[in-house]
Amino acid sequence: MSQAEVLRDQLIEQGVKYVFGFYVDIHGVPKSKCVPVESLPSMAKGSELYTVGALEGMGDLGPHEDECAGIPDLDRLVVLPWKPEFAVVPTSLHLDGELYPQEARNFLVRQVEAAAEMGFVANVGIEPEFYVVRETAGGWEPLVPQDRLDAPTRGYDLETTVLAEPFLGPMVEYMNGLGYGVYSFDHEGGDGQYEFNFDYTDALTMADRMVIFRLMAKHVARELGCIATFMAKPFQDDFGSASHVNISLADKESGRNVFEAASGGGYSDTARHFVAGVLAHAGAICAVTSPTVNSYKRFTSKGFMDEISWAPVYRSWGENNRTLMCRMPVNRHCLEVRTVDASVNYHLGIGLILAAGLDGVAKKLDPGEPLNRDTYRMTTEELAGYGDLALPRSLEQALDQFEADGLAETVMGKEFHRTFLDYKRAECREYGSVVTDWETRNYLQRL
């Protein structure tokens, strides 16, 4: 019997009835046909065809052109613990027998292969933040009403964390049932905002897991009459939702973390070169890791908030400096990319971070000395002494840098690079045409 036939019989015995072979669109949202489990062997051979030109940001395949075939990676199949009659399996799209170049998961696969050719395995940990809220006549309200009490911040608050157990408990149970290894979770600073911390794994597995994580969070929230939102800055007077990518390289043969210096316990030259590569391509990375017009409202030291935002505002690196794009923590050997937000397409975002870091390693780039000061409090004159630290202040600015970035075009391919750029430019044009409540409130009667 083939692997697919053996797996089919095992799934039937477990009570699985249907299988989704998912890929992701430009937003990182999973797409798939649903296949009865009995048809898994034919699905494994590419029986399911997709007219991806009809989807958002996946290329301009017209109605006269061939369809993409989905080839599932059966070793990565997962039975959904909250809906065990369904299984999901990440799938690679193929066109004319080759990996379809305008699909984010295929892009990450290629970057993982590039790392392997250099002798590395890329490992990634994610710190996802998001809000759980319910819609009421008075607007969006947090999962736990007590969050609205007059308090500076509910970050790490024990009482409201316990009160949120109807959401947090099932999440931890499902995540650990899938082997994610949750080691902590908490109430973040925002009203109804939560974060989960769990074990790192290889880059492709982590990106696949985050697709399932979002599905899980949305399901558990829906069971409580709420929604889980991965919008970067849903409320102007509350904290944004980041999704920090913690990335490191391991030796492919030994598994040793090559970001750790061979002696002394500090960071290696490889780690320094990697962070330099990320900083060299910071603008292009922001375009895909902070991919919405809303994303850039997170990049402020305070804004309308009562507290500091803890968000990155400058393109530099520091050891424990959370005001910067890149943080090299002293308690673990990895690069924490802090400009990544909750709306990221993980396959695309991790892929471009990895490509940029590998470029830095190949070219032996130097990131310079760390900036370990609170940049929120530094004057313009003080900051000028460190050179140009500017991050894009809008999606439009990020797209300008993405368009000019030769590495992004090379690793993504000209067609995928152009598709992403055109789609996001259109989003910016649409946003620029919207008349907001702020404009009406400030200009309608004044002028």
Q: What is the DSSP string of 127-147?
A: EEEEEEEEEETTEEEESSGGG
| Confidence at residue 53, expressed as pLDDT on a 0 to 100 scale | 81
Based on the domain organization, do 15 and 125 belong to the same domain? no
The predicted structure's pLDDT at residue 150 = 63
Q: At what angle do helices 269-280 and 346-363 cross, to 10 degrees?
A: 120
Do 154 and 209 lie in a common domain?
yes
The answer to whether residues 95 and 19 touch, using CB atoms and an 8 Å cutoff, is: no
177 and 260 share one domain: yes
Exposure class string for 287-304: b at 16+ Cβ within 10 A, else e = bbbbbbbbbbbbbbeebe
Query: How many angstroms separate the Cα of 166 from the Cα of each of 163, 173, 223, 226, 239?
Result: 8, 11, 10, 12, 23
Alpha-carbon gap, residue 193 to 290, rounded angstroms? 19
Neighbours of 55 (CB within 10 A): 16
Domain with 407, as residue range(s), is 111-441
Residue 446 lies in a domain: no
Phi and psi, residue 202, nearest 5°:
-65, 160
Whether 165 and 236 share a structural domain: yes
Q: Can you give the pLDDT at residue 359? A: 98
Q: Which residues of the chain have pLDDT under 50?
A: none
Distance CA 396, CA 421 (A): 10
- Please, is 1 exposed, middle or buried when counting C-beta atoms within 10 Å of its C-beta (0-12, 13-18, 19+)? exposed
Quick check: 391 and 339 in contact, CB under 8 A? yes
- Domain stop point among 96, 123, 154: 96
pLDDT at 308 (0 to 100):
65
CATH number at residue 234: 3.30.590.10
Same-domain check for residues 118 and 92: no
Per-residue pLDDT at 265: 79
Kindly state whether residue 447 falls inside one of the protein's structural domains.
Answer: no
Question: Contact at 8 Å (CB) between 321 and 170?
Answer: no
Does 23 share its domain with 144?
no
Radius of gyration of the CA atoms of the chain, in A: 22
Measure the CA–CA gap between 288 and 422, rounded to whole angstroms. Answer: 13
Q: Phi/psi class of residue 28: alpha, beta or left (left: φ > 0; alpha: ψ in -120 to 50)?
A: left
Contact yes or no for 221/130 (Cβ under 8 A): no
- Residue after which a domain boundary falls, among 96, 125, 159: 96
What residues contact 356, with CB distance under 8 A and at least 6 apart? 277, 278, 280, 281, 284, 285, 407
Helical segments of 89-245, H only: 104-117, 158-163, 165-177, 203-223
Q: What's 435's DSSP letter?
A: -
Nearby residues of 169 by Cβ (< 8 Å), 6 or more positions away: none
pLDDT recorded at residue 180: 98
* Residue 317 shares a structural domain with residue 178: yes
Question: Looking at the domain assignment, is residue 102 inside a domain?
Answer: no
Q: Which residue has the tokens 């894009």?
A: 392
Per the structure, the count of domains in the chain is 2
Is the residue at 104 inside a domain? no
CA distance 40 to 420: 32
Do residues 281 and 312 share a domain?
Answer: yes
For residues 89 and 20, the answer to whether their CB atoms sit within 8 Å is yes
Q: Which residue has the tokens 């006269």?
A: 64
Q: What is the pLDDT of residue 260?
A: 95
Residue 171 falls inside a structural domain: yes
Domain shared by 92 and 197, yes or no: no
Q: What is the pLDDT of residue 146?
A: 84
CB-based contact 349:340 (threshold 8 Å): yes
- Give the per-residue pLDDT at 55: 83
pTM for this structure?
0.96
* Residue that is written with structure tokens 């140009």 in the block: 388
Q: Report the C-alpha gap between 115 and 64 in whole angstroms.
A: 37
Residue 383 within a domain: yes
Residue 319 DSSP label: S
Residues 230 and 83 in one domain: no
Is residue 101 in some structural domain? no
Q: Are residues 87 and 128 in the same domain?
A: no
The residues that bridge with 227 in the sheet, in sequence order, are 133
Residues 92 and 116 placed together within one structural domain of the fold? no
pLDDT of residue 151: 64
Give the pair of three-digit tokens for residue 422: 């055109």
Q: What is the pLDDT of residue 316?
A: 93
Quote the CA–CA distance of 260 and 257 in Å, as a whole number. Answer: 6
